[in-house]
Structure 1
Amino acid sequence: MAYFRWKGNINNVKRKGEVIADSKEAAIMKLKKQNINVLSIKQSAPPIELDFLNKVKPKDLMIMTKQLSIMLNAGIPIVSAFSILIEQVKNSKLKKIITDIKEKVEAGSSFSNALREHKDIFSDLYINMVESGEASGNLDAVLQ
């Protein structure tokens, strides 16, 4: 796996970001699936991260949850909402977690089951509330 930095357009809005893929071509395909029109992409070294310093704070989770609720309430599909969150979240650890959750949901897992992979971040109460929101069809309201 390689690390790539990209610049592109999403709905005529300039964006930039990072993606991990096997090759440059695979990275471009991954971005196209997210409706990103790639203008430039180059392989680079991954950022050095000190995970023990980069914790997910309760405030970060609260903001992420509120943003997800608003997007779902507006009718944005959950995978697209995760893509938007990945762009907006500053905390690199939370960004990795959201990316992992997005990939699991894209592969067919439920949101609550994807959260269970990150029990160190999401409490049982949070996961169970998401599960009940999924079951009732009121995920946006539950997240709010």
Structure 2
Amino acid sequence: MKYYNVHILTKGRRHSILLKAQDKKDAIRKAKSTSGGIVVRAEETSPPIEESLKEFKEELLTRLRRSRIRRRDLIGIVRQLAVMTNAGIPIHDALTEIANSTTNRRIRDILSDLAENINAGVSFSQALERYRSELGSLSVTMIRLGEQTGDMAHALFTLASILERIDENVRKFKKAIRYPLITLAAMAVAFTILITFVVPKF
């Protein structure tokens, strides 16, 4: 949708209105239907500041909502699902129970939507496809494997274990590079001080 500044002549008086339309013809049509006057001209213009801010806010919120769920949170969800499924609780009921118990709004929304889709006849893996960016491709693959083998609990336990190993390795890696990074930063600061204050200027 674009914005158009439409100039209209009504009872000998000329005025303009700002309209949101698909194209110039659509803007003229809307102007005629709302004002009843004669359209002099219509020209495309930039959106109002408040509208630009609104669109930016909506886009930002959408991106935040689609940001990947923290690995530790995902591990907790998968582990709970595995335990509940292993106890004979249907996936739909398990998802609903976890959704109702979490304080994380995004996680609650995702789990509730998954439960609704499953209740509507969609498979668990198909429902997960919509949230691949948040939950990861590994989650979708393992759930599909669980459906194919008929042992969802085992697939969920395996997924939780894999995610835990990944999380542990990431933590170890971050810890391992922390000291070298601090050392490099200290060397950079020392070099800057040396060049700036110690080395005589010629």
- Whether TM exceeds 0.5 here: the answer is yes
The letter of the residue matching 1:68 is: L
The answer for the alignment partner of 2:126 in structure 1 is 113
Q: What is the RMSD of the two structures over their aligned residues, measured on CA atoms?
A: 1.8
* Total equivalences in the alignment: 95
Match of 1:134 among 147, 150, 161: 147
Q: Is the 8 A contact 1:112 1:130 kept in 2?
A: yes
Note if 1:72 corresponds to 2:85. yes
* Aligned counterparts, 1:1-144, within 5 A: 52=64, 56-144=69-157
Shift of 1:55: 6.2
The structure with more strand, counted as a fraction of residues? 1
Shift of 1:82: 1.2
Deviation digits for residues 50-82 of structure 1 (CA, Å, limit 9, x no counterpart) = 673986211111000000000000001111111
Deviation digits for residues 88-118 of structure 1 (CA, Å, limit 9, x no counterpart) = 1221101100011001000001000000011
Where 1:121 maps in the other structure, the secondary structure is helix
Flag the 1:59–1:108 CA change in 2: closer, same or farther, 3 A: same
Flag the 1:55–1:92 CA change in 2: closer, same or farther, 3 A: farther
Relative contact order, higher structure (CA 8 A, sep 6+): 1
The structure with more helix, counted as a fraction of residues? 2
Question: Moved runs in structure 1, 4+ residues, more than 2 A?
Answer: 50-56
The letter of the residue matching 2:74 is: L
Alpha-carbon distance in 1 for matches of 2:104, 2:85: 22
The letter of the residue matching 1:143 is: L
Q: Which runs of 5+ in 2 are unaligned?
A: 1-60, 158-202
Q: Which runs of 5+ in 1 are unaligned?
A: 1-49
The letter of the residue matching 1:72 is: T
Flag the 1:56–1:124 CA change in 2: closer, same or farther, 3 A: closer
The letter of the residue matching 2:128 is: L
Q: Is the 8 A contact 1:56 1:121 kept in 2?
A: yes
Flag the 1:125–1:55 CA change in 2: closer, same or farther, 3 A: closer
